[in-house]
Structure 1
């Protein structure tokens, strides 16, 4: 069976080499001096009364194909912020998601809340690149990295002032993630190797994440009921893309997701 994650990463590496040739690492690192310090998303994530929403700028997906045009990612991000989103996630992978670093730049300039570069990070160059384009968070997918590279990329992100969102899908991946002493762990309902979605994965794994780590539920959100269920299982934040870009009312939709999380949050917390 084809491994979709491996296929995506192969394309990511090819595109990365083109960018590296155009802008060598030394020049990219020099650009960091002109970038404002990264924003810390954790206070807002932890203080959210019900759930923090990480809203996503997402045009396509390998499983669903075209989702939305999004001619002005900055305007969409501003609508997310107006609805109460705690952060904005920006897809920058080109081949399967129709994203770009230009989208990241536009969103960073449009909002005051933290911005996540969501991509398939497999090289230190991409972490530096994320910070150079103003990202405050960077996604690290455990399934796509060996232990040494995962640890190095995690440490690099921290050194640059960013917050790594360490994404897992299976118990063994969570064990590997916890070896990093992470502050932010996402459980993805989507198996990136097959693209199948099963929300039970999130519900089963969230309780295993220590209370001092902010737990993020990813994928499988079609509306407020899904968010409420994730919150009851232990999610402090949810990452939502498809439901927001296809619904036509991003600001109102985020408010509804937050309200659902607030209702679902156990009183003792």
Structure 2
């Protein structure tokens, strides 16, 4: 089977080089958002008045194609916030996920809860870009970064005020955790094959540092699974496709929350 992640990262490196020719890091630093303090995802996840769910705006996936091509960002994310989402995640990868920076900017404009930029960060330029477009939290994917790259990108993110979610999916990636990580996610989906195993999170849970907020990611479509993972010790749950596949994702989110 083709390694989808390698394809995405290869394309991402090309995109970053192209962007550098158009806008410099110094230009990004002039953004209205760059000096603004972020809304803390850690605090929002731990806020007991919210659900702990990171609800995702996601138009398509490499494995399934378009999920909800015509969804309006503002309508979806406001529904998420209204019914208790702790954080909203927005895909900004265009080629494989149909997302855009504009999607994140539109979400940021209407939300009072934190916004996670979900993309494939492989270069320091993207860290500056993440702050410049108004995100509060940045995803780093251990599978496509070395231990040193995770360290350097996370350190830079913290220096400019971003929080960092590190995503892993196997025990051997635990060595990539460092002092600059705020939240750690276990992806139930194998990023090389895109197959899902929802038991993965619980297998690795006991090996995670106690002081990090723990997030279960991908393949969650049943409120009972959230209850089970919460009982096991997870504080947050990243869910997107389960809501986005509905005509009204905000309403689907509300119905999901009502069963928790």
Same fold (TM over 0.5): yes
Aligned length: 260
* Greater shift in the superposed pair: 248-257 or 159-168: 248-257
Separation (CA, whole Å) in 1 of partners of 2:256 and 2:209? 24
Local SS of the residue matching 2:238:
strand
The answer on 1:219 being equivalent to 2:257 is no
Q: Provide the rounded CA distance (Å) in 1 between the counterparts of 2:184 and 2:255.
A: 24
TM-score calculated relative to the size of structure 2? 0.93
> After superposition, what is the alpha-carbon deviation per residue over 1:147-195, rounded to whole angstroms, capped at 9, x for unaligned?
1111010001111111100000000112322x34632100000111111
Q: Secondary structure at the match of 1:30?
A: coil
Q: Which residue of 1 aligns with 2:8?
A: 8
Match of 1:205 in 2: 204
Give the structure with the higher percent helix: 1
Q: CA RMSD in A?
A: 1.9
Aligned to 1:113: 113
SS at match of 1:113: coil
Mapping of residues 31-70 of structure 1, within 5 Å: 31=31, 35-48=35-48, 51-70=51-70
> Which sections of structure 2, spanning at least 5 residues, go unmatched?
none
Unaligned runs of 5+ in 1: 262-269
Return structure 1 stretches of 4+ with deviation > 6 angstroms.
none
Tell me the alpha carbon deviations over residues 6-59 of structure 1, each in whole angstroms, 9 at most, x when there is no partner. 111011111222222111222112326765221111122123368401111100
Higher deviation after alignment, 203-212 or 82-91: 203-212
In structure 1, the partner of 2:190 is 191
- Cα contact 2:83–2:257 (8 A) shared by 1: no
**Alignment correspondent of 1:230:** 229
User: Conserved in 1, the CA contact under 8 Å of 2:197 and 2:219?
Assistant: yes
CA–CA distance in structure 2, aligned partners of residues 66 and 137 of structure 1: 25
Deviation string for 1:97-128 (max 9, x for gaps)? 01110111101001110000000000011010
* Paired residue secondary structure (2:199): helix
Q: CA deviation at 1:259?
A: 5.1
Q: Secondary structure at the match of 1:210?
A: coil
1:265 is aligned to none
Q: Deviations over 1:204-259 (max 9, x none)?
A: 11232233211000001112122122212221000011001113343344345445
1:248 equivalent to 2:257? Answer no
Q: Report if the CA contact (8 A) 1:101-1:133 is conserved.
A: yes
* Range with greater deviation from structure 2 (40-49 or 138-147): 40-49
